[in-house]
A and B are shown apart, each in its own frame.
Chain A
Amino acid sequence: MKINFPKAIAVLALSLSMVGCQRPWVASPALVNTDVPVDQSITPDPELEAQIAPYRKEVTVKMSEVVGTAPVALSKGDYESALGNFVVDLQLEQSAPLYNKPINLSLATNGGLRVPLPQGEITTGHVFELMPFENELVVLTLKGETVQQLFTYAADRKNALIGNATYTVQNGKATNIKISGKSFDPSQTYTLVTSNYLAGGGDDLKMLQDAIKYENVGLLLREAILQQIRQLNAAGKPVTAETGNRVTILP
């Protein structure tokens, strides 16, 4: 049997402390902890390192792949923004061929868009930073009253981007709401594409849980963003978005 020195010494020390030693034996709080840190003091296993190496290289290469170019950075902002408009528009565009039915509206929030897209070359890594979550695109069918609540939220919070619609904010309220250029009709139902996170009531969008229908598009939001940028690039187009035409703020 091999001798475990640290243990043997500990047993000896403990025995001594119990035999007439006046100094109480003190249990270190670390002794009750079950967590063994995996930190810099441990040398990585060379076999596993060798196995990881080619994958790591591929990840690095893929993350630095240039997928498109932006002449100016796309940033976030109140009510509408280049980044917000770009995302809500591509949600509609990329969902359309998968959903195959009309989608009336598109929604994203500033909280869900983690970082701006930088000016210049856009890499896969940038898109992962913008959308690190595995959020899926879903299409909700909403009653007119829910749509009204959504615009009320957008006018009040300023953080919601609504695609394929225009509205005016007056005294913190949404008025003159138009969807596909037509006046909003509260007696109608509308379809809306958004992330499963927001559809589940995330960002206080509790009204979305009143949806009368919930359908998966079958596409991750990050994948939709990547596809859009790649398609633009393939067509020789830059990554841009118009702003200033969707929400009118009245004093």
Chain B
Amino acid sequence: MRRRDFLKTTAVGAAGISLLGVPFSAEAAQSINLTILHTNDQHSRIDPIPDDGRKYGGMGGMARRASLIEQIRKEEPNVLLLDCGDIWQGTPYFNFFGGELEYKLMSQMKYDAATLGNHDFDNGLKGLEKMLPHAQFPFLSANYDFSKTILKNQFAPYKIFEKQGIKVGVFGLGIELAGLVSQNNYAQTVYLDPVATAREMVQELRENQKCNLVVCLSHLGYKYDDGKIDDVTLARQVDGIDLLLGGHTHTFLDQPEVVRHASGHETLVNQVGWSGIFLGRLDFSFSKKTLQKTDVRTAVVPVNRPVTTS
């Protein structure tokens, strides 16, 4: 890539999405960094994918992920670790233990929040209720109304995390359950329109709670052709989300999709496949003076861990 092209690429957007993995030192002194790590569709993949010739064989594994996260926590002052749902279903660990180990291990990795995927309803509301005490992190859900169910008051729509004065508002969105999950399993859970809900969340988090960064954890799915609501459409229709982390479609992205609004505000949409094969990483910089977002850079992948495919 020619240098001129490179500079053109980095000039994208008011916030400027830098392709450089390093901030300038002078700027760095004036800024606060926030590292967002994320997973989606873990599907009970506790152990690495069997290395038997299948795609991604030998990759993943929760104990390895824990090491990686621990390393990043040592290097970075402000880390948020988030998950976008479908923690459950896919290996016998779930069939035999009902999701207990998944929640315990995520708690040990100090996940900050997760949202619910359709497969997290696979053992019904009772199965979910039974396992919740093992999760030392909150499940955020803004568009499922559990008020007529046994899980009433169990889930907050959003949570605000404060890191060196930076307020990060995180909210959760789930997919329509009818047709995807047996009604026995979701019972009287009511699905609310994600777009209207997301607009309310942005209003609440940005205007009322004065958050400096708004993050949506979605299990809607990345992109559909049939008009069903997806992450990209939601990002286009709702102005004011900084980062939309997704799941459900098990999508591997080469880089986050950038959605620009008429206001100039940008929403990044990202997803990291499934099974914990990769850990998603985005680094945001904020001005120390204004607490405004000044920069976002995506993961610097160490050479000893080359990106094999994505």
Contact = CB atoms under 8 A, between A and B. Distances in A.
Interface of A: 4, 7, 10-11, 14, 24-27, 30-49, 51-52, 55-56, 58-59, 62-63, 128, 134, 136, 196, 200, 216, 218
B310 A33 contact: yes
B152 interface: no
A42 B68 contact: yes
A41 B280 CA distance: 17
B104 A51 contact: yes
B304 A41 contact: yes
B25 A11 contact: yes
Interface stretch (B156-164, B211-219, B259-267, B269-277): B269-277
Contacts of B280: 34-36
Contact of A134 (B47, B68, B122): B122
Interface of B: 1-3, 6, 9, 19-22, 24-25, 46-47, 58-68, 70, 75, 89, 92-93, 95-97, 101, 104-105, 108-109, 122, 179, 182-184, 252-256, 270, 272-273, 276-282, 298-301, 304-308, 310
Nearest to A54: B101
A31 B301 CA distance: 7
Contacts, number: 163
B113 to A, nearest CB: 18
A38 B92 contact: no
Contacts of B64: 38-39, 42-45
Contacts of B272: 34-35
A26 B308 CA distance: 20
Choose among A37, A43, A55, A200 the residue with the greatest number of B CB atoms under 10 Å from its CB: A37
A56 B20 contact: no
A36 B75 CA distance: 15
Nearest to A47: B108
14 contacts: A7-B21, A11-B22, A31-B298, A33-B301, A34-B272, A34-B281, A37-B305, A38-B279, A39-B305, A40-B59, A48-B63, A48-B66, A58-B96, A59-B93
B256 A34 contact: yes
Contacts of A32: 19, 254-255, 298
A23 to B, nearest CB: 9
A52 B47 contact: yes
Contacts of B253: 34-35
A136 B307 CA distance: 38
A35 B96 contact: no
Given A44-B61, A136-B182, A216-B184, 10 more contacts: A27-B1, A27-B19, A30-B306, A31-B298, A36-B278, A38-B68, A47-B108, A52-B63, A52-B101, A63-B92
